[in-house]
Amino acid sequence: MYSGGPLLYTMRQDAHLQIEIRIKQLLGSELNVNASVLATSSSSTPLLGRGVGLDSVETMALVLSIEEEFGISVPDADMTATLFETIGTLTDYVLHKLSESKDGAEKCEQDGQV
């Protein structure tokens, strides 16, 4: 039985990269994060404190933007410091939520995001 192998892995990596890029775009357009900060950021860049430097209000605004952009819902129980530890942890979460939601995945495909 075929499990997807390298092709599935490559597709997942591409989806992860596209989501990360879109999150960075949201950080810039919706939260006015400095472009030089975003240009030097990576998956391991912290979102809270040093790094991007989001505060609690900005974190909530980012969640609302992500919910709208990706067509997902982020329950209050999921909004922990761990979720916002890095750009990568947030990207992983969005990818996971999209994989749970057929509608969310279709929205990204239609928008050319994944």
Model confidence pLDDT, tens digit, residues 32-83: 999 999 999 999 999 998 889 999 999 999 999 999 999 999 999 999 999 9
Question: Looking at the DSSP assignment, which residues form a beta bridge with residue 54?
Answer: 48
- The model's pLDDT over 11-34, given as tens digits with 9 standing for 90+, comes to 678 889 999 999 999 999 999 999
Whether 80 and 50 have beta carbons less than 8 Å apart is answered as no
For the domain spanning 5-111, the CATH number is 1.10.1200.10
Q: What predicted TM-score, i.e. pTM, was given to this entire model?
A: 0.79
CA 25 to CA 1: how far, in whole Å? 39
Give residue for tokens 């530890």.
85
Tell me the HSE value of 84 on the side-chain side, using a 13 A CA sphere. Answer: 24
Question: Looking at the DSSP assignment, which residues form a beta bridge with residue 48?
Answer: 54
Tell me the HSE value of 28 on the side-chain side, using a 13 A CA sphere. Answer: 14
